A and B are shown apart, each in its own frame.
Chain A
């Protein structure tokens, strides 16, 4: 059967075979040959290659002169057009000239594959088609993997995914904002605006979105640095205030002890904290007025939790983003505290989009700023108090 197949090829298709090889790879885009596909038979084995090799050689020698045109195809298949050397679809792969030889090789593969009549395979396929057609037009639903429509569907999917990702990240940051707002402006000497915000932050701290980020903050903060004792003490004071007002978490033992040491006695803690926070808030106001980054740093400075002072980084990221988002992430806060929150909101409005879409980068970018800024703020304004 191989022999007969070879001889059959020797008639017409072999000439075509030779033709296609004569011009071969450079000019012929594989599928454009449209020639007969390789004969599908059970007898395919390595010996088939031997039939291949000798046949094209004698055919190729006389053939090239006869092969100026693209390969003639069966009458019922469309005629191909000669194409350029590099397949049009592969420029994105960035081939060098040397690699084009491999492309040529593969095109040659495809070319030869087409060079034979695949009548048996085609008959089988047609029989399968008829059989499937007989089964009647059942309501075949298009599964996802059957949907190969061009781009619009995929674009929609991608945009949906992107939208979801942006939404999720902004919700996460909003939750962190809730967590951070609570301690961001804790002060019993504060003006009415602040007081309202305290009230709201107290409730917002209980927001379900807060526990996650707060938990991570708290967990991470225990291993934080403690160079700025002034910042620590102030944060401890805030936590103490919260505890005293019955809203915040209980001050843990270490922080409480430190606070007591700084104040000079457990009884003096209340008075000490009142004095400290009064100064701190004034300094914080000035910082906020200075600019958005300062505003974020202020948020950093007033970060939440008993251990927040040791964690300017994470809290800076959280509060920095948090103070930027009180408008639409924390509605109650925004309404009640027009001056402070709005100012922060406005200053940070410009960064909303950035923060939303680059939350991580923004957070990370905030960290060094927060740390440095807090250090600066503390050093400039609070050192005199603690020293």
Chain B
């Protein structure tokens, strides 16, 4: 799977990312760092434990990283969850937001494995 195909599969924009990050080697290096950092798991653990402050920080970071890496779907999902957690314990049901983050994240990790 090429980078272009990978971005298409995970709902991101290869063209835009390449424009910013200059070359494929760097993008691949960053994506590998992304999967190794395990931010997604940290977020999910904090959510489960009801540690809202931690959860906010993790989802905020996740959003930032996704924006930088052009991972559109996960960036959007984490951005929505981020706003829901901004003032501590959420006042709305975050189950669907969490599910979308989880799904988008899983999709990325999955496709990363078949990236050349």
Same assembly: no
Q: Interface on B for A, CB 8 Å cutoff?
A: none
